[in-house]
Amino acid sequence: MKSICAVKGVSAAGIKEGKFGLALIQASGTATGVFTSNRVRAAPVEVMMDRIRRGRLDAVIVNSGCANAYTGERGIRDAEEMCAIAGESLGVDPGGIGVASTGVIGRYVNLPLIRDQCERIAPLIARSNDAEAAAARAIMTTDTFPKHALVETGSFSVGGITKGSGMIAPNMGTMLAFIYTDAEVEAPILRDILRQATRRSFNRVVVDGDTSTNDIALCTATGAAGKVDRGELAEAIEAVCRNLAIQIARDGEGATKLLEVTVRGAADEEEAAAVARTVIASPLVKTAVYGEDPNWGRIVAAAGRSGAEFDPYAVSLHVGGVPLVVRGEIVADLGAAKIAMHGDTVSFVLDLVAGDGEATAWGCDLTEGYVEINGKYTT
């Protein structure tokens, strides 16, 4: 699937060797980013939080297998050296290179390996399906499939790739996202658009409730398609981010089902989002989804501790279109509800009847597979 390489001015390359991968994405233009809210920030995040203030990028280098997190000053130097390696290989000023890492925390990156991989793939950088597929695979860790998204309008395109499967929580998670558009847009406007898109997508995904040290979402606009309507661009970027976020939720570590929770009738959008995130983060809800058990009380209880204001005896709740509670009255047909929970997607709709706010959040079920993956992650 082509997404970023469908955007004018974007080319890519990648390699994956065991746990260790490296991707290069080359595109020059205005740029912005959003980053982890974790106080413990990986070295590439620290470097990028400074570099992105320039409002421009020419390329990105990304490694998988080592997070370069909790590595102190050496980690900062290593991240900057990765930029220098990419700049040398691509013939680009290292100051215009973005950097990101994902993998095990507390280990130093293998710079000789990164240099070797970079020198091998830089000549292969191209604007093609195969080149993009190689880059998307290169950044994967416990992901089971590469993640791409593309929106094409009559005048411009927006594409993105991401990785993420575990350590995923609101305010992003162990996810890296690289989003590109050929629209012409100033960096401050692009920043505002990406921040809103992130709030409505990546910040509404919960796999396990942990927030990573390495989360980065970068967006670059090459300008090759010229100026476009701001609202149309914002809508397209949000659509790409939402598509990628749902793919992350569906690919949660050990997951068998995508969980989607839509909250309506909240005081405002933020309260609706808070309720939806609380519900999808609940281990009790997640395990009930895994067992296809329509234990609707767990959802109402989670909503009640979200901090939102509502009358518990006025709410309505449906699963897959099957009513469980209607205006505070229990109407659940548990047999029909259980059938509605079959398949690979389970959708709940909760109406709080407290306003006009609406939001959707995404997660997944919690299975034995999650424990198996994370119980032996470093060994």
What's the DSSP call for residue 210? -
262 is known as an active-site residue: no
| Proportion of the chain in helix, strand, coil states, percent, rounded to 5 | 40, 30, 30
Query: Helix, strand, or coil here: 367?
Result: coil
What's the DSSP call for residue 321? T
Looking at residue 299, its amino acid is I
Positive or negative torsion for Cα 249, 254, 255, 256: positive
Positive or negative torsion for Cα 74, 75, 77, 81: positive
Contact (CB, 8 A) for 163 and 139: yes
H/E run at residue 25: strand 20-35
Looking at residue 342, its amino acid is H
Among 32, 174, 181, 198, the active-site one is 174
- C-alpha radius of gyration, the chain, whole number: 21
Cα–Cα distance measured from residue 134 to residue 67, given in angstroms and rounded to the nearest whole number:
20
H/E run at residue 245: helix 230-250
Active site residues: 174
